[in-house]
């Protein structure tokens, strides 16, 4: 009895200490903690990403989803498709127009919101609503605002004489009682919703930037008697330039890859005047069942995203060094 | 005093105090106008949704009626239609269930990963962190086609489990990134102290670091939940059975029957979801912004 227990306990102790050492060992602990997340991401992001690229070099469809051989045929077909070219142009155009205006408007709004005033939290809540609401829900609100007959915007336009009132008055814009926002003005309407949606986010980012400017810099400008506009353009803007860029780039990423607004509002329009890469890829790949062409269409977003990510990381690194 | 006069020599254009007061007043007025304009721009669709919720058909569908007030007495019929004749309650249930499941998966995967990246692996950790960020930037609109193949192969099509499986692809990288920054801000000394006090590294993490990281964890919970509420394309591509739909898809697809739009019910369906989600989101927004602006913003 007494002779058998000591080796057992010693063995147990050794095993225990090995366990402890393992738990204390940095490398082991780190990889054990990282592994689940890494495995998940490799399986459900990495492999689909590679599959998306493979699909776009294949001729896979919903009916025969196997990748038989790789060729550039799909890319050729996609590039020759006028709707694809239109979508690519729209994606780039909508994104640049909406995000450029968003940066300007966001700066104005952030500046106005910097000072305290009564009811500020409520105003902030209202201004942030578009960003906090699920985008499909926000878009459906706009779908009704843009209604071809009952649009409340048209009602206002009729009241102030911009639109005609069923024959009895001639409107400044048109004698018709309605604008048909999602017809001829489709691109404008879509861009407006994109601005509406992204403005809160860029404003909050810019406000964070503005409040990070040290008070003594502002004081110095004031003591020196520098006017508001000069301070703004020669002191404030240069100081928060990286943050403006961050707000812009995030806006670009979200807008460029979005299909929800388009899907809810226009489905790309019958003449494809509001079709974008993401929505076209969806209609081709899922609704049309053409996996390879859908994937090839979507893959055109990848280089843009990679470029933007690189710039973002460079900004981040520079500000960390500082 | 001497300094002030020397300043005057450099900049002769100091506005008089009276002039400055006028400037300030003008700026205050301008500020009010700007804020009013943007508030109306942002909130107008929601006001419109709210008022449409209670409008009768006869009131809503008359182009000459003022759309911003009740021309006839408000009604609850649209809400009744929404809850009695559609799967609205089911969609809300689905969205909440998916949200909770995704939050749990996200916590399980992201918390250990974030800690490891923040503390343990040095240079490699930094590079892996950057990789996480890149993964977050890969949008669902790029991955949905192969993903829909994966879902079909797994036999999960038309089931909410497909979304539970796939949604962590964007919550995990984002939350890992956010938590990583959070954990970096907790001094390593505290942990060393715990080790000195006799905890193992692991025990120290669980008993000392986790309580300190609680605000970060709460942020992650809120954002994982709201991000799943916001998601659209996977839900649209994977699920077409009404009883398995989430709120965004149900509202935008099923309240429009052919040419008949149940506008008031659509608007009420929207506003009921929008307000609570927006309120929760709002509380945590500053952290959210700090999270994805990579610490470039220090506010």
The closest of B50, B133, B66 to A315, measured between CA atoms, is B133
Q: Which of A23, A278, A308 sits opposite B202 (nearest CB)?
A: A23
Residue A285's H or E segment, with its range, is none
Query: How many Cα atoms sit within 13 Å of B268 on the Cβ side?
Result: 22
Tokens representing A223 are 């003591």
B35 interaction partners in chain A (CB closer than 8 Å)? 109, 112-113, 117, 123
Q: How far apart are CA B179 and CA B202, in angstroms?
A: 18
- The beta-carbon contacts of B152-156 under 8 Å, at least 24 apart in sequence, are B156/B238
- Residues A109-129 have a mean pLDDT of 85
8 Å CB contact of A132 and B60? no
- Give the mutation candidate from B5, B157, B296 for the A interface (greatest A CB count, under 10 A): B296
How many residues in chain A?
Answer: 322
Tokens representing A209 are 């930037």
**Residue A172 above 80 pLDDT?**
no
| Alpha-carbon distance B53 to nearest alpha carbon in chain A (angstroms) | 11
Three-class secondary structure assignment of chain B? CHHHHHHHHHCCCCCCHHHHHHHHHHHHHHHHHHHHHHHHHHHHHHHHHHHHHCCCHHHHCCCCCCCCCCCCCCCCHHHHHHHHHCCHHHHHHHHHHHHHHHHHHHHHHHHHHHHHHHHHCHHHHHHHHHHHHHHHHCCHHHHHHHHHHHHHHCCCCCCHHHHHHHCHHHHHHHHHHHHHHHHHCCCHHHHHHHHHCCCCHHHHHHHHHHHHCHHHHHHHHHHHHHHHHHCCHHHHHHCCCHHHCCHHHHHHHHCEECCEECHHHHHHHHHHHHHHHHHHHHHCHHHHHHHHCCCCCCC
| Alpha-carbon distance A36 to nearest alpha carbon in chain B (angstroms) | 6
8 Å CB contact of A133 and B267? no
Phi, psi of A308 (to 5 degrees): -65, -40
Residue A307 has what DSSP assignment? Answer: H
- Residues A205-227 have a mean pLDDT of 82
**Residue A40 above 80 pLDDT?**
yes
Of A31-40, A147-156, A255-264, B121-130, give the lowest mean pLDDT range: B121-130
CB B131 within 8 A of CB B117: no
8 Å CB contact of A125 and B133? no
**Residue A3 above 50 pLDDT?**
no
B114-137 pLDDT per residue, tens: 888 887 666 777 788 888 888 888
Q: How far apart are CA B148 and CA A263, in angstroms?
A: 18
Q: How far apart are CA A242 and CA A245, in angstroms?
A: 5
Share of chain A above pLDDT 90, in %: 25
Tokens representing A125 are 């809540």
A55-101 pLDDT per residue, tens: 888 888 877 777 777 778 888 888 899 999 999 999 999 999 999 99
Report the SS3 class of residue A174: strand
| Alpha-carbon distance B252 to nearest alpha carbon in chain A (angstroms) | 7
- Residues A244-256 have a mean pLDDT of 88
Q: How far apart are CA B36 and CA B50, in angstroms?
A: 20
B168-223 pLDDT per residue, tens: 999 999 899 888 888 888 887 887 788 788 787 777 777 888 888 887 888 889 88
Highest mean pLDDT among A311-320, B76-85, B154-163: B154-163
- Residues A220-238 have a mean pLDDT of 82
Q: How confident is the model at residue B289 (pLDDT cuts 50, 70, 90)?
A: low
**Residue B233 above 60 pLDDT?**
yes
**Does any CB of chain B come closer than 8 Å to the CB of residue A204?**
yes
CB A266 within 8 A of CB A182: yes
Q: How confident is the model at residue B1 (pLDDT cuts 50, 70, 90)?
A: very low
**Does any CB of chain B come closer than 8 Å to the CB of residue A307?**
no
Task: Work out the burial of residue B53: count CB atoms within 10 Å of its CB; fewer than 13 is exposed, 13-18 middle, 19 or more buried.
Answer: buried
**Does any CB of chain B come closer than 8 Å to the CB of residue A115?**
yes
Q: Which residue has the higher pLDDT, A181 or A279?
A: A279
The interface predicted TM-score (ipTM) is 0.82
Q: Which residue has the higher pLDDT, A280 or B291?
A: A280
Q: How far apart are CA B112 and CA B116, in angstroms?
A: 6
Report the SS3 class of residue A167: coil
**Residue B7 above 50 pLDDT?**
no
Please list, residue by residue across B230-254, b when 16 or more beta carbons sit within 10 angstroms of its beta carbon and e when fewer do.
Answer: bbbbbbbbbbeeeebbbbbbbbbeb
Token pair 């409008």: residue? B55
* One-character DSSP codes across A27-68: HHHHHHHHHHHHHHHIIIIIHHHHHHHHHHTS---SSS----
A152 interaction partners in chain B (CB closer than 8 Å)? 48, 67-68
Q: How far apart are CA A179 and CA A163, in angstroms?
A: 8
Phi, psi of B260 (to 5 degrees): -90, 115
What does the pLDDT read at residue B39? 92
CB A148 within 8 A of CB A266: no
Token pair 């994982």: residue? B224
| Alpha-carbon distance A273 to nearest alpha carbon in chain B (angstroms) | 20
Tell me chain A's radius of gyration from C-alpha atoms.
28
B115 interaction partners in chain A (CB closer than 8 Å)? 33
Report the SS3 class of residue A163: strand
Q: How confident is the model at residue B6 (pLDDT cuts 50, 70, 90)?
A: very low
Q: Which of residues 1-30 of A touch B (CB under 8 A)?
A: 20, 23-24, 26-27, 29-30
- Residues A11-30 have a mean pLDDT of 68
Token pair 């804020």: residue? B35
A189-215 pLDDT per residue, tens: 999 999 999 998 888 888 888 887 888
| Alpha-carbon distance A5 to nearest alpha carbon in chain B (angstroms) | 27
Q: Which of residues 122-161 of A touch B (CB under 8 A)?
A: 123-142, 144-145, 149-150, 152, 154-155
* Other CB atoms within 10 Å distance of the CB of residue B205: 23
The closest of B227, B212, B225, B226 to B115, measured between CA atoms, is B212
| Alpha-carbon distance B62 to nearest alpha carbon in chain A (angstroms) | 7
- Residues A281-285 have a mean pLDDT of 91
* Closest Cα in chain A to B261: A144
**Residue A277 above 80 pLDDT?**
yes
Alpha helices by DSSP H, A115-227: 120-132, 135-145, 152-159, 186-211, 215-223
- The beta-carbon contacts of B68-74 under 8 Å, at least 24 apart in sequence, are B68/A152
Angle CA B43–B46–B52, to nearest 5: 140
Q: How far apart are CA B262 and CA B264, in angstroms?
A: 6
Q: Which of B60, B142, B297 sits opposite A205 (nearest CB)?
A: B297
The closest of B66, B252, B46, B55 to A145, measured between CA atoms, is B46
Q: How confident is the model at residue B259 (pLDDT cuts 50, 70, 90)?
A: low
């Amino acid at each position: 009895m007494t002779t058998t227990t000591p080796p057992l306990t010693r063995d147990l102790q050794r095993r225990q200490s090995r366990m402890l050492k393992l738990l204390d060992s940095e490398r082991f602990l780190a990889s054990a903690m990282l592994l689940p997340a890494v495995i998940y991401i490799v399986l459900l992001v990495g492999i689909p990403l590679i599959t998306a690229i493979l699909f776009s070099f294949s001729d896979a469809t919903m009916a025969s989803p196997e990748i038989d051989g790789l060729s550039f045929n799909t890319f050729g077909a996609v590039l020759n498709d006028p709707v694809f070219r239109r979508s690519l142009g729209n994606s780039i155009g909508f994104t640049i127009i909406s995000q450029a205006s968003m940066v300007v408007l966001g700066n104005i709004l952030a500046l106005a919101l910097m000072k305290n005033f009564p009811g500020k939290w409520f105003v902030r809540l209202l201004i942030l609503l578009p960003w906090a609401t699920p985008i499909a829900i926000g878009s459906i609100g706009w779908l009704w605002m843009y209604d071809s007959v009952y649009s409340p915007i048209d009602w206002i336009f009729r009241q102030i004489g911009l639109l005609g009132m069923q024959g009895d008055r001639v409107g400044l814009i048109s004698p018709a009682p309605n604008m048909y926002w999602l017809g001829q003005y489709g691109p404008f309407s879509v861009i407006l919703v994109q601005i509406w949606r992204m403005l809160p986010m860029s404003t909050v980012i810019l406000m964070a930037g503005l409040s990070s400017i040290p008070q003594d810099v502002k004081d110095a400008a004031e003591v020196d008697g520098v006017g508001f506009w000069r301070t703004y353009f020669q002191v404030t803007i240069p100081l928060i330039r990286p943050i403006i860029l961050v707000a812009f780039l995030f806006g670009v990423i979200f807008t460029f890859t979005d299909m929800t607004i388009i899907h809810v509002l226009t489905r790309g329009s019958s003449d494809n005047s509001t079709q974008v890469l993401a929505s076209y890829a969806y209609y081709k790949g899922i609704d049309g069942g053409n996996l390879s062409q859908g994937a090839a269409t979507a893959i055109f977003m990848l280089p843009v995203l990679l470029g933007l990510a690189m710039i973002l990381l460079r900004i981040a690194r520079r500000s960390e060094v500082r | 005093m001497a300094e002030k006069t020397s300043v005057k020599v450099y900049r002769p254009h100091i506005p008089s105090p009276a002039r400055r007061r006028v400037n300030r007043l003008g700026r205050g007025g301008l500020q009010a106008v700007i804020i009013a304009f943007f508030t109306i721009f942002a909130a107008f669709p929601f006001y419109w949704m709210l008022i449409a919720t209670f409008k009768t058909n006869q009131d809503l569908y008359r182009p000459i009626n003022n759309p911003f007030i009740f021309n006839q007495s408000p009604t609850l019929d649209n809400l009744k239609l929404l809850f009695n004749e559609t799967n609205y309650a089911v969609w809300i249930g689905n969205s909440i269930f998916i949200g909770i499941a995704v939050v749990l998966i996200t916590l399980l995967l992201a918390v250990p990963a974030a800690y490891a990246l923040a503390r343990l692996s040095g240079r490699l950790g930094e590079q892996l962190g950057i990789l996480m960020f890149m993964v977050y930037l890969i949008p669902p609109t790029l991955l949905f086609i192969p993903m829909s193949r994966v879902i079909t192969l797994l036999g999960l099509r038309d089931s909410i489990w497909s979304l539970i499986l796939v949604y962590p692809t964007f919550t995990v990288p984002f939350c890992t990134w956010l938590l990583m920054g959070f954990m970096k801000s907790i001094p390593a000394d505290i942990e060393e102290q715990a080790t000195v006090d006799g905890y193992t590294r692991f025990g120290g993490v669980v008993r000392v670091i986790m309580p300190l990281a609680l605000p970060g964890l709460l942020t992650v919970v809120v954002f994982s939940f709201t991000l799943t509420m916001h998601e659209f394309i996977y839900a649209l591509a994977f699920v077409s059975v009404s009883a398995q739909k989430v709120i965004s898809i149900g509202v935008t697809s099923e309240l429009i029957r052919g040419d008949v739009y149940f506008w008031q019910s659509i608007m009420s369906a929207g506003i009921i979801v929008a307000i609570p989600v927006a309120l929760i989101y709002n509380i945590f927004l500053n952290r959210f912004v700090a999270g994805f602006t990579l610490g470039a913003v220090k506010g």
